[in-house]
Structure 1
Amino acid sequence: MDTELISKKDLLDQMNISYGQLYRWKRKQLIPEEWFIRKSTFTGQETFFPKAQILSRIGKIIAMKDDLSLDEVAGKLSPLLYDLRLRREEIIGRNIVSSMVMDRLGNRADEDGMYSFERMLILFTADKLLQTGEMNLEEGGQLVQTLREHFSKFDGRSCDLVFTRKMGISAFALITASSELYYESKVKLIARLSMTACLEELKMKLA
């Protein structure tokens, strides 16, 4: 499941915004740096964006910018949610993680029955892949274990979750977002997810 991208030119045309607006919003941190993806094309280097996330984000910026300053918009779009903790019922009720995933994979709440932002992100990511049908519940357990053990090691740096399968055996890895990854011929790439994009999507749900 590769993330669908949109070119900078198509983005500016579709959203009817200028180059200057786009980069002013970037400087104000309304648009994450990680969403500006440089790729080689036949015309040279071009900038692309994760399509669903950037269209949603710019739509929200446009809707708010006439009534709020850019700093106020930034506060709305990037609330300080990392200390937020929710109970199981709240997570399901706010449609953050499905009840099935909470029942099967979400049995690691804190002693007080609350889930930290990081634990919600891990379950949200697993739910996201399960919803596509490309991953089963057993593999979901592997994914959750991989993120529990290694996600914190990136200490806020951008990383991607890589999901592969070879002869029916699945594997998960976390790599820095800019890394190229090469496989032997019999390994199939099932999905490569930006954890930054997942984090931003979760923040929008919690905001």
Structure 2
Amino acid sequence: MEEENLISKKDLLKLMDISYGQLYRWKRKKLIPEEWFIKRSSFTGQETFFPKNKILDRIKKIKNFKDGVSLDELADIFSPTFFEIFLEEKDMLNQNIVSKQTISLYKSMHKKITGFYFNQILFMTITDKFIKSGKTSLEEAKLILDTLEKNYENFDGKYFDVVLIRKLGIGICLLMRIPNEIYIEDEAVLVLKINTGECVEKLKSKLIL
């Protein structure tokens, strides 16, 4: 991790206007991952640093959510794990979770389906973002859904990026661990990249809150 991408604990507390106690309470409640607390040697001894972009984004979300939302509920939202839920199509449309177009596309791939579990809702949510971008065809959307269904479990609960690349009019879907760097040949085009972590958090906030 590059040094310029880190922020010290002292600077973090001052910048975000939070206390030492708040920070470590959020850590105990698993709102902030243990691995984000990075110990480094300094001229004063040992100091704690954090991945700057991640910690600033997470604390902003915690502060925006905290009124009326318990820390346990927030921990569920930030956790990469699934939770038990089953929704029918009408429920998803009423809660504006996924568009009817994406639901119809998913149902065309699973003829006898009558309702959806969390992982299925997540796959549709991710695909919905590609469709709504206006950059993705329906055939490419099917490819994304199929790739997610066949490979999501390989990431063992870790977040990743869903990447769509197009070459000579043909779409290719990749699931890539984070962090990643993408280099593609001249004839190929990076159409869109979507982070699954952001999709999980947004979806959970709709379903839990």
TM, length-normalised to structure 2: 0.71
Q: Is the 8 A contact 2:77 2:205 kept in 1?
A: no
Q: Is the 8 A contact 1:81 1:203 kept in 2?
A: no
Q: Is the 8 A contact 1:122 1:148 kept in 2?
A: yes
Distance of 1:161 and 1:140 partners within structure 2: 12
Q: CA RMSD in A?
A: 3.7
The answer for the alignment partner of 1:115 in structure 2 is 116
Q: Secondary structure at the match of 2:54?
A: strand
Q: Deviations over 1:103-133 (max 9, x none)?
A: 2233456957121111000001111221222
Q: Secondary structure at the match of 1:48?
A: helix
Larger radius of gyration: 2
The answer for the alignment partner of 1:161 in structure 2 is 162
The answer for the alignment partner of 1:135 in structure 2 is 136
Distance of 1:179 and 1:167 partners within structure 2: 24
Cα separation, partners in 2 of 1:113 and 1:134, compared to 1, 3 Å: same
Letter matched to residue 202 of structure 1: L
Cα separation, partners in 2 of 1:17 and 1:188, compared to 1, 3 Å: farther
Ranked by relative contact order (alpha carbons within 8 Å, sequence separation 6 or more), the top structure is 1
Q: Is the 8 A contact 2:82 2:119 kept in 1?
A: no
Instruction: Provide the identity percentage.
Output: 33
- Unaligned runs of 5+ residues in structure 2 are 1-5, 39-49
Cα separation, partners in 2 of 1:136 and 1:46, compared to 1, 3 Å: same
Cα separation, partners in 2 of 1:109 and 1:165, compared to 1, 3 Å: closer
Distance of 2:193 and 2:91 partners within structure 1: 29
The answer for the alignment partner of 1:42 in structure 2 is none
Distance of 1:173 and 1:182 partners within structure 2: 13
TM, length-normalised to structure 1: 0.71
Distance of 1:131 and 1:33 partners within structure 2: 35
Q: CA deviation at 1:174?
A: 0.8
The answer for the alignment partner of 1:49 in structure 2 is 54
Distance of 2:156 and 2:111 partners within structure 1: 21
Letter matched to residue 147 of structure 1: L
